Structure 1
Amino acid sequence: MNSPCHASSLARSCQSDVPADLCLANAQMVLPDRIVTGSVTIEKGVICDIAEGDRVLTGAIDCAGDLVLPGLVELHTDNVERHIEPRPKVDWPHLAALIAHDAELASTGITTVFDAMRVGSIHGGKGRYINYARKLADELLAARAEGLFKISHFLHLRAEICSETLLDELAAFGLEDRVGIVSLMDHTPGQRQFRDLARLKTYVAKKRGMNDMEFAEHVENLLRLQKSFGSKHEAGAVTEANRLGAVLASHDDTTSEHVATSAQNGVGFAEFPTALEAAKACRAHGIAVMMGAPNLIRGSSHSGNVAAEELAQADLLDIVSSDYVPSALLLSAFHLAQVWDDLPRAIATVTCNPAKAARLHDRGVLQHGFRGDVLRVRTVGQTPMLRGVWSQGNRIG
């Protein structure tokens, strides 16, 4: 892993406030390969010392044997969309929504987030999606520049292949936006995430309030869009991701053929492969596999796809995302620790592994010179309880 002085420009776009010094002592520190009793000291937002031993120096916080681990890194969350549209067709003021979203993530131990925003609109009917990403991104970037956030925020553009305006919407973004991730989304009915149309109907009917006729029209429209724009949009989104200097991610790969295409496109990590076959193909191609924390905690996919724990047991799980439940991210890591009997390995799926996948080389590990994003955690039974959250040494939770 590169040292912070070689961190990407993406990493340098984070908060720049100079915090007070911090020392967390008498802690069980979760290092990449072991857990040791000791202390971590942060100065000017950066870890300056890792020391073993249970001594508590004057001015240090006595963690009384609690775990101390790196702040969580979230690559894919629908949470910002939930805040800007808390109910279907209910638009919430964006700045207020962003601040609430930021505070919620901080309260769950997430100190770095890639906020997922859909690009690619569909006009007309109850299945419509409006173009909102450029405006929301402007507001997010302005809030970040003004230091309004507790945690680090970056952009994740979800490129919806099955849409009408994808390439025009992607073209509105430039290098100055420092887009971190572009993911290739294809929600065409009958394949990938929604191979089972009955499950799609249940999901869409509840979310969009469609009757049977409206759902049938929606499916027909999506199939038409895929036929008209699918190949062009996929190739164009790959080109745009390269232009923006973003990490490219696939979404809902199901077959080895899907993964072969992803590898050809230069995909760095796979979001939520839906079948064991796809996860195995990802491993063969050197593509990191990300699964959802809700899937892991619930023991199954709400769409009827492969269970995250099945992939974990097959040694095919690298990264976990909170997806649509922010508080599930920390909980999922401790669940994985039971599956693997290896807490450092489990913590890596929500810290250093996602940081590496997103090309952030200054965080995700308790190590000298890395960002002072740290958590204090106590376990009650098998449940992790946050007792402190710090971003660059500043207490935020």
Structure 2
Amino acid sequence: MKDFARSDDPAVQAQLDRLAALSLPQGRFGLETIKTLLERLGNPQDRLPPVFHVAGTNGKGSTCAYLRGMLEAGGLTVHAATKPHLVRYNERIRIAGKLIADEQLAALLRDVLDAGEDLGPSFFEVTTAATFLAFAETAADACVIEVGLGGRFDATNVIERPAACGIASLGIDHEAFLLAPEEGTPDDPLARIAFEKAGIVRPGRPLVTMEYPEAAELEIERAALAAGAPLHMRGHDWHANVGERIEYEDRHGRLALPLPALAGAHQADNAALAVAMLRHQDFVTVGPDALEAGIRTARWPARLQPLGAGALSAIVPGRQLWLDGGHNPDAGLAIARHFEGRLHLVIGMLANKNPLAIVEPLAERLETISVVPVPRSDSHRPEAFGPGALGFAGIEEALAAIPADDLPILIAGSLYLAGAVLEKNGELPD
């Protein structure tokens, strides 16, 4: 599966074409190539502002959005590296609060690809090297960096002195990569996932996590102990009770924080993790007012996002139209918790994903299931989603065929599909 990055800028597209030709399907095992590439570029990862490094199966991108929102609300300038992009590759690299400009992006990718031409780096390794190079060349107060896949062997895992590391929720995803047999790793699947995510821990640097089942918690505790890293785990070292507000407490005291503007009950948990990461590090100061403002203002597209006016919304006028890029069982459960009544589902999923991950948690509430292909990708056919699923050539046809009632419509199943939906509806992430 390639990342299919595209750009309207010819200079950027020329480099993205080179990048796509080098891409490995799921990255690689080991950090030797990324370390060699970065060394040739002057080790920019060693010249970054304080880094907040976030791993997790679900919620890590939202946690990064809250971190950025809180830091910026505190008057700080922030670099941010998130993934994947939804519409434009530029979304992956945010420099001092703004998406990287095409001219700078083209030059960075050219320099990195030229430097690693004989190394055969992956899409993710080149992207990471270009990101670190961009961040090292521009002053900022902090960096927020999202892990791509796993943690232990993710290309971002070359940062030696982060301000804090965080692990969001854990679940089963990317099994072919993260659950590949390897001597000395846990047999329990969730414990193995925890083992991989905890690979980002660094000696003496705080590791802040959520609550997990016992086997997963034990793996994280082992990793922190082996690294000599202070561990701050929810339910042990910090607490967050979610009701009409987020009642947060740690050794520094108590806070009453607002619920996020982002939809979904799980978003309060992600916001609380971001708060805990900021309160368990000593590199930057973010006061309670900034924490509150960041929770209120954070935005993260294609995660239970209500679509606004646009070409797709016009096909179903007056209807609630929701978009979510979730594609694993934990994401399906989070979506199911958000919708109380019946709804219509428009779904497209990559062929290497579990087709029932979203359908099963919603099964008793689905009025219709409309299946569409994921653009430029191998995706599941309608029969994979159950006997009542109907196939359509594209998102427009699927929406036009939905019965005229007042039920909400959810488009879900893939971030690649989500990107195409945002582009068609004219809601480009900025």
TM-score by length of structure 2 reads 0.24
